[in-house]
A and B are shown apart, each in its own frame.
Chain A
């Protein structure tokens, strides 16, 4: 039964104003606000700046794209970040997927504890994770450097991958596995040909998340890096003296790379989900 017209008509007008004008405009304004620093970053990667400070627009140039690797420390830091991200993603994805699988599939005695540890790892602020790990390194007198950064990155990434994979397993149809085994497949084949392809989007999403978290990490890295520099550490140091345009260019390229990866992931995921 339709509602009395007098009650809904003014409400309908108000609703349209909110939903057709105010909220959408607000959302677009917020999107612009969120993009603002990115726009600035990209723009000033083209700035023909002469001084050390990249603050005033002085003309368009592609110099910085050409001279991208002119600052050896910066290039070294970027290389460190990329290699650490790749390695830690690899290791964390393998370890985390295994945990996610175990949690998503069976009930076992350590389950509650594992849940708790994973949750604590994700919920704990980076500050605490970093400082605690530093405490371990100090006590055991392990020198800080590339290796310890790698260890730290794997440490905080395992939980993210595990949770992502486990979530993906939430809707998993275990009868498929049973069917495969009924048809004579051993557990490894079952995993390889049935389980893995189905949870692959989850694994990929977890890996992507791990990569992004690793390449962008500042706080935990700053505690355990010693004298080694990663890209965020270098940029942070540079904010005190003046960030060179090469940083803008690198940021732009990483940004574009991330966008491409995300788009690919979305396309891939949609195809995969039949």
Chain B
């Protein structure tokens, strides 16, 4: 009898915590999206579906921008991370873990500090742009901070490990015998890469894209430290609407829209990729 109860008892405390502080808030979020009112007079559940259309009309620019940035950053991260992960996985030898360690080392520093450090590096007359301007390689009023480029750069930097790790794990598992076999069948380098390694690494690509796209779209710290006008992300808006303007219905509607957009994207991607095959191939 106790044995059958055991799992339920084990799950209970943690499950309760999650239920109260994660699941219930999610439901409340949804109910808040349908309320109306204001901070002083209170909010009531009035089933105001117009909150969603209001939220979209007001902030669709920032919403689209966030998703666009996230797409660009994810693509960039994939391109940057893959060669690294590939080389370490296949040619790292005994020092694989050391390389990985070195790669992940910077991320022991608080991410606000890292981003602030980038702000410092990219200042108009700073250690990066200053010398370039002196050498007249750049126009004098060139600036990186307060542009989308700085924000995208910061985001790519901060979320690179989320792409590298899954890629590495997937690549590292690939049985070298398979590559051997391909070579034995007269495949050249490019072919064995394209037809053996790449497909086998897809689960890693999927995981990496998932782990990079979602947090990037919702991030706003990079934009607020490195960006300026025309770079505000939807997360910043949501935070301000909650904390400064106390416009809870709009804020919740925006939160919900972000969550829904991301979920739909992830689901669609998973379906398109065929998760079952992905799992099989990954040897899970």
Which A residues lie at the B interface, using CB under 8 A?
Answer: 1, 3, 7-8, 11, 14-15, 18-19, 23-24, 26-27, 30-31, 33-38, 40-41, 44, 54-55, 94-96, 98-99, 101-103, 105-106, 108, 110, 114, 117-118, 120-121, 123-129, 131-136, 138-139, 151-152, 154-155, 158-159, 162, 187, 212, 215-216, 218-219, 222-223, 231-232, 235-236, 239, 243, 247-248, 251, 254-255, 258-259, 262, 266
Contacts and interface: CB of A to CB of B under 8 A. Distances in A.
Nearest to A144: B243
Contacts of B221: 218-219, 236
A266 B93 CA distance: 18
Pick from B11, B15, B84, B113 the residue with the most CB of A within 10 Å: B113
B86 interface: yes
B87 A162 contact: no
A62 B115 CA distance: 24
Contact of B14 (A30, A99, A139): A99
B99 A27 contact: yes
B114 interface: yes
Interface in B205-256: 210, 214-215, 217-221, 225, 235, 238-239, 242-243, 248, 251-252, 255
Given A125-B258, A235-B112, A131 B118 contact: no
Contacts, number: 239
Interface residues on B, range: 35 or more
B18 A159 contact: yes
28 contacts: A8-B188, A19-B91, A26-B84, A26-B87, A27-B84, A27-B99, A37-B118, A41-B117, A55-B126, A98-B10, A99-B14, A101-B10, A102-B7, A108-B4, A117-B22, A123-B210, A129-B22, A129-B25, A133-B25, A135-B28, A135-B32, A138-B248, A152-B21, A223-B243, A235-B110, A243-B116, A259-B108, A266-B97
B8 A38 contact: no
B108 A158 contact: no
Contact of A132 (B26, B80, B113, B266): B26
